[in-house]
Structure formats: structure tokens, C-alpha cells
Chain A
């Protein structure tokens, strides 16, 4: 009986083996990149909102502070979406006839909520908490990006688990002084732009324990430099200055200069008592 396949089909068989292997790999690669693509993560997408609210205009242009609207960011897991009342605080006076703001006035008149589309939408099994992040030195911009430069709000980062873990495994890369939390333009220290920090000797909430400045306290700010070594006030143990009959005035004493985020990050990890990477990346931190 004649052979069904001739010799040349061996090459074909080999090629198809290789090819199917490649197809499997390609499929894997495709799925993998699909999973991380903005189509799934919505990174960079600007959903249609009832009002084309511009963070750029309100933050950069008008200089509104984040917490004016997101009131509970320091004290609750939710940062808070402002009630219509917050909008109307100003817009009952200005732009009262703007067509853009019709839904806001409608909401105010009827008592029905404005229906925003969630831009930063975590899965329901993730229990994210804003308060602990902003209290421990993670700035708004670290996750939300330069909101002050976004005319329409979009998601800067993927908010996928690997992205969370990048920081939870090594928080030092994103830590900043708590005084700079709401500073959208804050940049990590560099040799050109160093940061000076010093504990102010108080105990209590993390957010109040450290003073940081962007200019050299010794040379550029004589007033501050003077205060760092006040005359006549003895320095107690642990750097706490006490005078028996005078009110305690906590003051920075020993400024440390930082020229890189790595140095600053490790310093802040210690100062803010950030938990270890092991603890921060444990499952129950985010999933319950």
C-alpha cells in the first residue's frame, strides 16, 4: 500500500507542532496583555459624567484643597464624594445659568442625587481604606496621578492587585511627608531639590510627628534655624524640650537632609512606623 503521506509532510508536521506551540504562547501573551490592557483596567478612560467636572479648573485654577470636597479622606475608608450642597456653595452664586451645571441645579431642586460614574472602581472584595494611607504618607497623586492636570477625571493607574502590591511590598518608594499629602506637584527629593525633615518630638498621630521643609532650614530660613536651637530651653531626653512652668512648644531640632526618594522613604518608614512588607502584603489587609 502506498504511503498516504509523502516525506515532505514530515516537515509540515514539525512545522505545525511548532506553530501550535507558538499559537498557545501567543494566546497566553494576548490574554495576559488583554488582562492588563486599559480595555479591562479602564486606565486613562474618561466616562461620560452628568457634569463634565474639571479637577484641573477647580484644583489648579481655583486652588481648592482636596478635602473641601473629599471631606472624609483622613478619617474614613471612603474619601467621600461631595454632596450637591458642596457644588451649590459656590454655584448658587457663580455660573448660576451655565448650561453645564443644569444637572447640579436639577439635583438641588429635586433632591435626587447626581449620578456619577465611578472612575476608580475597585472590585467589591477589596477593602481599601483611604484614612490609613493619607495618614501614613501616601499622597493623593501617588495613586490618582496629577489630578490637578486632568480636565476630565480618568484613572491614572491600573488599580490591579500587582500595582497595589508593588507598593505594599516596598512602601518606601512612594512615601512622602504627611505635610505634602495634598501637594499634587510634590516631587521626590533629588540632589537638586533636597528635603529636610526632623521629628518635632511630639507623640500622637503619625501625621503630626514630623516637620519637613523644601529649603535648607540652616541657611535659607534663619528664623527657623534659630528656633531649632532655642536659647534657654534645656533639651530633655528624647529631644523633648520642657520647661517646668512654660507651655510645651515642640520644635524641630535636628534636620536631616535627603537627596533621594530611597533615603527619604526609608527614613519615613521608620518615623511613621510603617508595618513590614510581610504584614502589608498579607491577604487579610485587603480581603475579608
Chain B
């Protein structure tokens, strides 16, 4: 026995140095092959990736395997001989029999010494706070389990957020528990105390008398309180300066606003009333990087729902790199950045002509549509739009009457708007001139992301004292004299304004894990260090809360005293306070408690300003460079790099491109052809003499002669274990002259290959004989040019949609198709009879499961629950919020780049992107794909151990502890939604991550299959509550994590037996269809076919 154990230990030790199979050989696709395939072919076709379109042998090989590159023995145990392997296996067989008999170790219970009064262990509590973001705060409701934040949701009562959230907000939870966070202040790299810093800093600044040479370099100040503190500092030290710098900023918009109106204003869009929307390089459906993402995407989706009695809106997008907004648009025009400027100018000029005939046609159509709308339109610009585009939007929105209808100008959401790049430039000049003695950097990382031409590192070395407040000892923190560990927003007091100006108070959910400090504390060092961040936030609240003004001084002390001890006020307490039951005596205290409870302060939203016509003409853009241009975009997952150490976001396939753990130079096929570049080739980009080496990814729909790179990758080792070494640093090409785009790029080949990690192809493995039959006997693909996924999308109608006119003519288009005048089926809508379900009577599978059991509840009798889901493809914008929400809710493991590369990503839901049509101007369809909870599920039928079974309420459930890992279920799943733990992916060791886990969901170990459970833990929790009270579960009481996060309300979950439920109403729509219905798996998740509203002139 001892001997065997030793053997196992040896084997285990070997595992640590295991040689991991890291990649499939890159598909050797050549352009010539693709061209040959595509030449002369026309018509509609769907495809997912270039490899697949080219149908290369390597791709074919990939497709043959259920899971490409099975976990081989070599992955577990390094170089185990066959004999050794047998020995190990022998031991494990012996142990397998005993596994059930092993005694569990003693577990201890650590009860409280004094239990907090409102805490009911086992029941989560919810607290309101806000996620501060440079484009406006996202008010959230934090699910807290024994005072540990475990999930974030949008605040359901907030007027603009309405319970919705986004990927960044969801993932910010993981940032809190990031094990790489900086854990203590450092002085010259050695651990030091924050009070030492305070003493030193306060003394030095006091010594200057006027604050000369003291400069704060801050990320965008989002907190009105912090702005107030800065004013106080300025009053005390008039020579001190504060510069805000954010690599992805709103400079262009600020400059345009200043030029037009003489001051900085924000634009708010009310898309509820917009019939025509034109977005100029504005990715407003992509995420909170765009100000107002939540209300705007919700309003767009609401107006984009197909309803016979309601006109549908129409979205035009002019952009460079393809974004989800571009692909959700009815019409998308791909232009180089310089051409977008020309387009914007022409838009204001009205009559000027564009050299590009396509753009000219587009412009004419848009202009006509805008005129026709009678002011019910909006030209949208955002942080990614150039100054010319901003100016054009101001002009057109004003002159065509959108202002006051759909477009409103307000004061800025951030309290101290500024133009970041020019301010930073001035600061660097000061630093170089030796005028800066103390550089206090609040949450910024300029050594990583400052414009490269400023040579920030040179100037940085001339500053004698640098202070860095940051969550990590990052590139800047590492080299700073002082590093202060920054508290996460879930650990600190602050405040912030949402998009509409509504103030939310940021309250701590947990005692700072590492005693981190906030910017409030740092500024307070110069004022009165004894005053806490809580005190200043409370004091500032007196300026906007009722009862603040006069009663302020008397109310302050008791209020501070009452709430100081508690890290947060529970909703219970707060509601008691609101009722006047607790100690809240003054109106201010009541208002304060209400603000903390509600998560926002009523009547603090901005009122629109009347600004009159914008002054001055548009700035003339530089004449279009003939060379290749480069466009810089924030990454859709890691943004400007701030989320680079967040495993959920790094692993999250990027919008549209589906890249995971990578960034790439995006370009179109023509440019690749011109330069002779293949996909996955490493190339050298040179701009103004600066060079970087990047891999190439072909981007369908990308304009010609321009390369798009994503910021935020290429972090150095200091950034943390996740971020380090991912991708290339695009900041090293970005200068103050061209923060958004630049021209004069040169490209050189000859740097080998770099195999990008793209998840797209992972989920289209062969689907058995049916798919094979399709390929052999195509219905519509007579030329044999469709790829496999294309086949499925087309012939089996995975994606179905119609135009508004077609849908009006034939609302049942998703099931009958559209016929032309001869009565023959036109494959216009992706409909094909082959994709239909067989008649139920002919079904081989009887109705094994019945859902007609009557349950008695006190209100009467109700039918059994029967769960189902409906996803509206018209509304889904592919923003990934649902995917990240699922990560947090279901304890999903992060597997790392190597594992993703071989198809082992663990996320339970994915967004499938199907491109359609021309490589140069494709359209795309997003389809969230998750377990369909089939009624006659293939997985259930093949599981030898009953680990995946049907529940009486129709859910296909996983019993992890029964699973022995045969993977038959995944083999038999046509939707490819099952995920297998090939290795031990879940992190059982890192202490901080244990706090984050959802206690109601098992953490899966190696060798276990897992998949979407319809958030069974949420269903059970509600069911218990309802059963206790003898009532039926109400519609909307159970929200799945994906549904709750979805900004556009695309996902609806509910009881199919309740005729009034939303999901039943959705499914009753004629456009409702099943994916791969012909297999007769009878999925419970169905999709609503999309409807688009194209302009006939551009058709």
C-alpha cells in the first residue's frame, strides 16, 4: 500500500512539470486557396471564420474531433512509461473501490462571537453601491453572502440602469479578489506604512507653502466629493496642480464641445424617440466604454423589436473596425478614419461629394432618411469618434432638429472635464523642466499607457518624489518612490454620477482586504488626515440631500457616529430608517440612509441645457493620407488595460473577433493580399519610426488600407500573473497627435507566425450524419462553396431573419420561408424546410415527461412548473454581459490561453457570430448559445451513470458527483454546449478566490462534465420560498444570471405552463424557432427570428 502511494506521489510530482499540449498546428491557409474558393461565387452564405471558409485540411482535422487534442496521458503525468502508467492505473482502480469508504476529515465550525443583528447565515443580503467608470457610474446591487460580495447586478430601481449591467461591471468582482493585488504600501520597494507616507508628504507639501511643484496625476475624477476635496487642496495650496489622464478618453468630444459652445458639455441621447440613428465610429452597443451604454442599448433594442403596430428604428453605422454596433446596424459603411472625417464633413456640408461612390450613396441615403425623420433621429458620436465627427454630430443634430427631441446637452457627468492628452503634454514639459517635485499618481499607469512621443519615462526620472496609488504594483507602481495600495470600489466610500447625472453613493461592501486607501484618503493627507473618506463623502452629501444645508453642522456629528462603525447599512436598517423607526432623527439623516439604501439620489439628474447653435464650422480634417492608416481601439474585454489581470475578461472571446487571451492587427483580405500576409503571421508595424510586432487576424468587413490594433494588452510582468505577456502593447505606437488614428503606417513581413487564440471554430464540430447528408446533398449550395457552419446556418436554418417588409407580408417567415412570385422558396431568410422539426406524431421519442401534475397552493391549483427560455435575436447585440455574469454566478473556471486554444474554454454560454455574405462587407448575426435543455435530450440517453438527468420540471440537470467523465454526453450534444474539466481548472488553493465563489454552486473538479443549469440554484431558492408560503412562483421572480445582466432584455426565462408568463408570450410569437429542430431534440430554449429594417435605396 505504501509503495503504491509513493508511486502516486511520484506521479503527482511529475504532473507539475507536465508537458502540456499547447496548440494545434496553425491552419495552413493560403490566400490563394480562399480566393480560389470564393472567386465567382455569389449569393448569401454564412460562415464563422476564414479557416472554415477556406476549408483547409488542418481545419478539417480540427473538426473531426469532438474535443480537438484529447487530454493525453502526457498532459497529466510527464513521460510515464506504459508500465508506470499501468501501475498508477492499478492503484487508482484499487482506490476507486475504496473512494466511497474514505472518511471525511473532521470539519470545524467557527461561529461568531457576536453575530451581526441582521445577518441570517445562508441567506444573501443585497446592498446598493455604484461601479465608478470614467464614462459614468453603473449603479449596482451587490449580493453579499455573510458580508462577502459574491455577485453584482445592475440596480433594478435606478432610473437608467433598471437592473441591467455589462461585462466590465460584472467582472469587477473578480478584481476585488484578485490575488495579485498590491497588499501594502511600499517606499522604494520596501513595505512601509501609509501613515509614514502621510507624514512625509504632508510635511513636504507644507514646506512648499504654496504647493508649488506638487502635481496630482489622476485617472478621470468621477467623484464629486473628490472634486470638492481637490478644491479645498487648491485653496490651501494654490500652486498645486491636478491633471487627469485616461488613455481612452473623450478629448475629441471635449474639444468639439468647447469649440462649438465655449465650454464642456456632455451629450445625452434618448433613442426611444429616434427613428433613424447614425453612429459615426461610435460603438454604443459594445459596452460601458461608451457613455450611456445601458440606457441607449435598451432604448435601441426596444425600438428595434418587431411589432406590427410600431415603426422600427433604423441604424446606420460608419466605422473602421467592425464592432457589434456595426453588425447590428441595418447599414454599415466601413471607412478609413480619414474617410470618416470626410464623411462627417460631407454630412454637415450637405452637398459635398465624396470620392468613394459607395460612401456617397450611403451619405445620400442617410441624409434623406434624416430629413424624412423630422427631427426624430440622432447622430451618435462617442469616445472613439474623431473631433470632425463630433463637430458634425453637433451641427447636424442641431440643424436638423434632433436637439431637444432625441439629443440633449447637459453638464458633464465627470465633475472636472478636461482634455487629457494636452494636459498631460504640459505636465510632461513641466516634469522635464524640473518643475515637479511631487508627482502623485492616482489610479493611473502612465509608464504603460502614456502617449509614446512624450517619453514619459524620461520625464518621470526627473521627478524626485513619485507616488503611485494603484490596485497593483504595476509598471508605474514598480518604479515610483511611494506605492500606496488602492482600495477596490467595493471596499471604499465615494460617490459618482451615472450617465443621466444621478448621484450614487459608493459604499463599502467589505472591510478593505489589504487595508487599501482611496484617492480621498490621499488628498485628505494635505487637508486633515484624521477625516476619513466616509466623513468627506457624508459632508459632500449635504450639498445635494434634503436637510443638508441648514441642519448640516448639527446633523453631521451624530450621523457620522451612527454609521461609522458599520461597514454598510443593511437594507433592513435603512428601510427602518426610512420609516423613522431607527435612530434617524433629522431629515438629512433620513435622506442619507435612503440614498444608501436605494443606491441613488432622486432629483439629482441633470436638466438639459439650451445651448443654441454650435459656433464655428467644422475643423477641416487632414487630407486623406494615401498610405496605410492605423486605428487604435480599446479592447472590448480588457478596455484600456485596466482589466488585463482579470481572468474572466481575458478569457472572454472578444466581441466580433472571438479572440481570447490575445490582441491582433486587424486588416481586411485585400490589404493582406497586397502585402502577401497570411492570417496568424507575425508582422512588424512601423509608425514614425516606432515598431511593434503583432499577429494578423483577417477581419471581415474591415476597410482597406487600414489596420486596427486594440489597446490594453502587452502588459509587463508587474501587471500580474494573468495580464503579463498577453498580446502586444499598442500604446507603443500611439502618440499625442494621433490618439485615435494615425496615417503613415508601414508593414513588414518576416517575423514568423503567431498562432492566435480564436474560439470561433471550437463549437462547430461535426454534428453527425445529418450534417454529412447536408454536405452530400445540398439543397441550396449547388456549388459546394459553403463551409460546414455555413451549411448549418443556411440549410438547417440556425439563423433566420427577414426584412421588415417581408415580415409584414409573411409574419410566419421563420417557419414557412419567403416565396418569390413563382412560388418557389427564396432562401432569403435562411429558412429551409430541412431545419424544421418533425411532426410530433412521427417522433420516435414518446412523451416521456409530463408536466401536467396539478400543484395545490393556497391561492388555488396551478400546473407544475415547466421551465423554458426564449432569446430574441433581434435584441441580442453580442455585448458579452451575459457570459461574464454566468462566470460569476456559476463559479466557472478560467483555463488559460493554452487550454482555450485547444477548445477547452469552460464558459457555459457563448455568443456565436455568424457572418453572412461578402467578405468585404458582410453582415453578422449574434446568437447566444447555451444548454438548450432539450426535452428528448441526447446527452441523457447516452450517459452510462445517470449523471445528466431530466428533472420533473423539465431541466436537464448535471449531477457532478455521479459524472465519471466518459464525455459521451458532449459527443451526442448537437449544440456543443457541454464543457469538460480535462484538468483541474478550478482554483482550490487561492484563499482570496474562495471568498468570491457562489456558495450555492459546486466548484467542479477534474474529470467532470458541466454545462448551463438554467441557474438551478436560483430556481431552487425561489421554489423553497414559494413552497414555504404555499404560493405559485410568480413570473419574473426567477431571473437567470444571463437574463438579469442582459442590457437589451433579449433573454427571457420562465414557466412554460403559465400562460401569462413573458416566456410563453415570446414563444407564442410566430417568429419563434428552434435551432436544429430537425434533430427532434425538442430544445426548451428557443430563439426569436430577427427582423431588420433596411433602407430600400441601399439594398
Contacts and interface: CB of A to CB of B under 8 A. Distances in A.
Contact of B1016 (A85, A108, A115, A288): A288
Given A127-B1000, A288-B1000, A118 B115 contact: no
A113 B112 contact: yes
B207 interface: no
B1020 interface: yes
B1027 A84 contact: no
Contacts of B1024: 129, 131-132
Main secondary structure, interface of A, reads loop
Contact of A131 (B103, B1017, B1028): B1028
B107 interface: yes
A284 B109 CA distance: 26
B1028 A135 contact: yes
A42 B121 CA distance: 26
Contact of A114 (B111, B122, B949): B111
Contact of B121 (A35, A72, A273): A72
A278 B856 contact: no
Contacts of B120: 72, 75-76
A186 interface: no
Contacts of A84: 111-114
Contact of A112 (B103, B113, B961): B113
A178 to B, nearest CB: 11
A72 B122 contact: yes
Given A75-B120, A108-B113, A288-B1020, A117 B1028 contact: no
A35 B114 CA distance: 39
A121 B104 contact: yes
Contact of B952 (A203, A278, A288): A278
A104 to B, nearest CB: 10
A288 B112 contact: no
Contacts of B853: 276
B107 A117 contact: yes
Interface centre among B111, B855, B858, B952 (most CB of A within 10 A): B111
Interface string A39-81: 1101000010000000000000000000000001001111011
Contacts of A123: 104, 961
Contact of B122 (A40, A77, A112): A77
Contact of B113 (A76, A111, A275): A111
A278 B954 CA distance: 13
B1028 A273 contact: no
A136 B1023 CA distance: 13
Contacts of B101: 31, 34-35, 40
B1020 A284 contact: yes
A95 interface: no
B1001 interface: yes
Contacts of A31: 97-98, 101
Interface in B828-873: 853, 855-859
Interface in B69-126: 97-98, 100-101, 103-104, 106-115, 120-123
A124 B1027 CA distance: 24
B112 A83 contact: yes
Contacts of A230: none
Contacts of A163: none
Contact of B1028 (A113, A124, A205, A288): A205
B1013 interface: yes
B439 interface: no
A80 B1030 contact: no
A204 B1030 contact: yes
A284 B1024 CA distance: 13
A77 B953 CA distance: 22
Contacts of B98: 31
Given A42-B103, A117-B106, A135-B1028, 11 more contacts: A84-B113, A85-B114, A114-B110, A117-B108, A118-B109, A136-B1027, A204-B1029, A206-B1027, A270-B856, A279-B953, A284-B955
9 nearest CB pairs, A to B: A76-B122, A203-B858, A83-B112, A78-B122, A113-B110, A77-B122, A81-B111, A83-B115, A284-B957
Interface of A: 31, 34-35, 39-40, 42, 47, 72, 75-78, 80-85, 107-108, 111-118, 121, 123-125, 127, 129, 131-132, 135-136, 203-206, 209, 270, 273, 275-276, 278-279, 282-285, 287-288
Interface of B: 97-98, 100-101, 103-104, 106-115, 120-123, 853, 855-859, 949, 951-953, 955, 957, 959-961, 1000-1002, 1013, 1016-1017, 1020, 1024, 1027-1030
